[in-house]
Each structure stands twice: as C-alpha cells, then as structure tokens.
C-alpha cells in the first residue's frame, strides 16, 4: 500500500470512527453551564443553532448540537452542518504556508516582491490618516513573515481617512480577478511601514495569493493534498458543492448566498467553509504538534513557531486590537494567550475566531481543543425580530468562560 492509498484509507475509516467515538464518549449530562449558554444563545435569537465540541485528553467530552439548521423550515441542526468560517480560514492558510517553508520553497525572511511584483517598491504614508500622496519610501520590503503575523503595513482596522476609503474601494467579487486586485492594492501606499503595526485581514489574503504563485496552482488543490485529505476533512474549502448545499447552516435573518462552484479568487483570510468535525480534526492536529492519526502535517517546531507571540511590547499597549483585549499576542495567523486568567485559557493557549461567530481554542496545558460553530451576525439587529446581536468578542468570551467553569468545577 502506497502513502496516498494509506491516507485515503485513513480518511474514510476515521470519518466513520470519529462520529461513533463522539457519540460513545460525550456525556449528555456533562458541561451544564456550556449547554445552558448554548441553549440561551439560540433561544434569545442570536443564532439559529450551534455545534460545540470540547476534546480533552484524547477523547470527546462534549459534543452539543443545539437549535436549527434552517429555522424557517424547522430543520434541526445536524452534526455535519457546513458553516462559513470567515477568519478561521487564516490558521489553515498559515499551516499551508508553514508546509511550503518546511519544503524549502519559501522562507520567512523572503521579500514578497519575488512572487508579487505588483507590491514591490512600497511607499508609506507619513501620517496614517493623511493624504495618499504624502509618502516616503518603505525602509524595507514586506516579507513572508510580515504576512503571517499581519504586519505588512495595511489592513481593515487601521485609522480612518483617505487610506481606509481607498482600501474599501478595491475591486472584489463579482470581478473575481486577483491580478486586478493586486494591481490596485499596489497603487495604494502602506498605512504603516512593514513590521510596524498589526492590522487585521489583508495580509493573509495577500499571503494566499503569494502561495498560489509559489505552487503554480490553486490553494484548494494544495490544501486538499497536504491538509484536508490526510486529516479526513471532507467538507472544507472555498465553496460548497451543490450536493452539500442542503447542509449549509442558516442565519437568523435568512440564508445567505453561498458559492456552489469553484471560485477564481480564493480569499485565504476569510473565504472558507467547513464543518465542526472537519475543523476539530484540524485543531487536534495543531494540539498534537502537527500530527494526527499517524499522519504528520507539520513538524512540532513549526507548530511552536505559529503559537509564539510576535508582537512588540508597544503593540500590546497601543495596537488597534490587542490593547482592547489584553493578555493576548499574535503568532503566525493565530492569537496567543500571554497572561494567565483566573478562569480561562492558560498562558501559551492559542486560538482564532471568525466574524460569523465561529471560534476555536487550543489549550496545551489541559490537552484540550474547544470549538464553536455558529452563524451569528456580530453587529446590528435582526430586522425581522428586533433582536440586537451581541458582539463577537462577547459571544466568544461567554462561551469560553462557560467551558472553563465546567471543566474546573467553578
């Protein structure tokens, strides 16, 4: 049996066994605070339904399915429901990049200009909220490491002003043209010098386009071969095939359009779809230092590098994000817990979330993965019911607090 056949056998057999394993090991009476939170979240109209997992010490301790897949037609939530995972796409892209680094095809210190000439010879705004023509030459090129740590110098949450307006005007789907998007992005100066400031989102979209040019193909094909296939992740990608559309989780205010065919622009930062069993596999691989079920995806050193805080001290104090959420830093495409909590993740735990409400946490101290899959609008209110949506960070924190209260007996 060759390696490809072995991986295929592992994927098919593990898909069946993990469902049986979860059913046999998840105690319906366990995690009362977590279950109460999930039920209230759905009952309050914050989401149609949820799927939650706690995998600890090699076994599923919680597998909770709550509410509806489709509330309008009273279709119950199903364990294999497919969700838009938004920014939880980022860690998957980070793993793909680390695979290429291990293969020697890219290096952390490589300037991105080699593969993305559209972004060469960058200029930087003298004032981040100033006019777009008041610039100076960037002191150095943007590197692969800058993209992995979201430090390329621009992003969605920088100061308001002409730059923010120009970034919002970049061509996106339906134009679906990544070359045009890169060209227009290259016409905008950086808001900050490379490496100077953490800014969300755009760096990982750029990283995805760089990876495509390095491999000479699609991200989906590469990730299928090196991540999804080996881990038995059958429902993860940048679109949902027509035969799986009946498994797409709905939203409180009505279902949203989901791509059902191959997309040309693979938004590596926030464009993926996945299921709870699939993402649990991915997270367990990270917890297990790059290996799962006898298949190694990354070396332990690569996982450790991803889970190491790389923010400068001043970014923790004055950054646009981490100053609001103290005690956390950022590694390669994931946040890292840097300070202890009385009731919560340990120092060294790492995680990320998505704007659709999804969230996961890996806590090595407890040998634990926590996962929440949901489609939850994180701002505004439901025009049908008037329900005001809680912020994503509040949702994530409440779920996290409930899980740790349950496991610590608080």
How far is the C-alpha of 349 from the C-alpha of 396, rounded, in Å?
A: 15
Task: Say if residue 254 is in the same domain as residue 107.
Answer: no
What is the spatial order of strands in the sheet that 368-374 belongs to? 75-76, 59-70, 49-56, 368-374, 359-363, 350-353, 335-337, 328-330
135 domain-assigned: yes
Task: Return the pLDDT at 156.
Answer: 81
SS3 (DSSP) at 124: strand
User: Token pair for residue 389?
Assistant: 């949506």
Residue 273 and residue 358 in contact, taking contact as beta carbons nearer than 8 Å: no
Residue 306 and residue 331 in contact, taking contact as beta carbons nearer than 8 Å: yes
Task: Name residue 75's beta-bridge partners.
Answer: 70
Could you report how far apart the first and last alpha carbons of the chain are, in Å? 50
Task: Say if residue 248 is in the same domain as residue 151.
Answer: no
226 domain-assigned: no
Task: Say if residue 31 is in the same domain as residue 64.
Answer: yes
Q: Residue 360 pLDDT > 50, yes or no?
A: yes
342 domain-assigned: yes
Of all residues in the chain, the percent with pLDDT exceeding 90 is 76
pLDDT in tens, 122-163: 999 999 999 999 999 999 999 999 999 999 999 888 888 888
Which CATH number belongs to the domain containing residue 274 in this structure? 3.40.710.10
280 domain-assigned: yes
123 domain-assigned: yes
133 domain-assigned: yes
Task: Say if residue 28 is in the same domain as residue 118.
Answer: no
Q: Residue 7 pLDDT > 50, yes or no?
A: no
Task: Say if residue 319 is in the same domain as residue 254.
Answer: yes
pLDDT in tens, 256-295: 899 999 988 899 999 999 999 999 999 999 999 999 999 9
Task: Say if residue 109 is in the same domain as residue 79.
Answer: no
Task: Say if residue 253 is in the same domain as residue 377.
Answer: yes
Q: How many domains does the chain have?
A: 2
Task: Say if residue 295 is in the same domain as residue 399.
Answer: yes
220 domain-assigned: no
For the ranges 128-137, 272-281, 318-327, 389-398, which has the lowest average pLDDT?
Answer: 318-327
Task: Return the pLDDT at 176.
Answer: 65
Task: Say if residue 269 is in the same domain as residue 383.
Answer: yes
What number is the average pLDDT over the span 329-343? 92
Task: Say if residue 34 is in the same domain as residue 55.
Answer: yes
**Owning domain of residue 380:** 3-87+234-408
Domain boundary among 179, 214, 249: 214
Q: Residue 255 pLDDT > 80, yes or no?
A: yes
Task: Say if residue 256 is in the same domain as residue 336.
Answer: yes
Task: Say if residue 297 is in the same domain as residue 394.
Answer: yes
Provide, for the chain, the percentages of residues in helix, strand and coil under a 3-state DSSP scheme, each rounded to the nearest 5.
40, 15, 45
142 domain-assigned: yes
């Amino acid at each position: 049996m060759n390696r490809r056949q072995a991986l295929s056998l592992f994927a098919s057999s593990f898909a069946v066994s993990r469902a049986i394993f979860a059913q046999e090991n998840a105690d319906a009476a366990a995690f009362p605070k977590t279950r109460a939170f999930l039920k209230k979240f759905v009952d309050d109209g914050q989401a149609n339904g949820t799927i939650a997992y706690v995998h600890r010490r090699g076994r599923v301790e919680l597998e909770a399915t709550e509410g509806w897949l489709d509330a309008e037609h009273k279709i119950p939530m199903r364990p294999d429901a497919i969700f838009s995972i938004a920014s939880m796409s980022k860690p998957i892209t980070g793993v793909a990049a680390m695979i290429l680094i291990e293969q020697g095809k890219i290096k952390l210190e490589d300037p991105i200009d080699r593969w993305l000439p559209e972004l060469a010879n960058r200029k930087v705004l003298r004032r981040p909220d100033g006019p777009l023509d008041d610039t100076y030459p960037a002191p150095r090129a943007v590197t692969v490491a800058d993209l992995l740590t979201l430090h390329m110098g621009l992003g969605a949450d920088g100061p308001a002003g002409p730059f923010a307006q120009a970034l919002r005007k970049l061509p996106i789907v339906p134009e679906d043209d990544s070359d045009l998007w890169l060209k227009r992005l290259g016409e905008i100066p950086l808001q900050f010098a490379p490496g100077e400031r953490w800014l969300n989102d755009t760096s990982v979209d750029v990283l995805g386009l760089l990876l495509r040019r390095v491999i000479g193909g699609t991200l989906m094909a590469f990730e299928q071969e090196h991540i999804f296939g080996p881990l038995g992740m059958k429902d993860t990608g940048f679109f949902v095939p027509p035969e799986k559309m009946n498994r797409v989780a709905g939203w409180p205010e009505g279902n949203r359009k989901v791509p059902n065919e191959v997309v040309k622009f693979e938004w590596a930062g926030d464009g993926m779809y996945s299921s709870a069993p699939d993402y649990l596999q991915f997270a367990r691989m990270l917890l297990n230092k790059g290996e799962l079920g006898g298949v190694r995806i990354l070396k332990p050193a690569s996982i450790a590098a991803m889970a190491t805080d790389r923010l400068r001290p001043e970014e923790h104090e004055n950054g646009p994000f981490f100053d609001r959420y103290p005690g956390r830093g950022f590694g390669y495409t994931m946040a890292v817990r840097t300070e202890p909590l009385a009731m919560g993740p340990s120092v060294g735990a790492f995680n990320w979330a998505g704007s659709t409400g999804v969230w996961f946490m890996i806590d090595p101290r407890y040998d634990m993965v926590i996962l929440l899959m949901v489609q939850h609008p994180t701002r505004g209110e439901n025009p049908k019911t008037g329900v005001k949506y809680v912020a994503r960070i509040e949702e994530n924190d409440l779920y996290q607090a409930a899980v740790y209260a349950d496991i610590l007996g608080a």
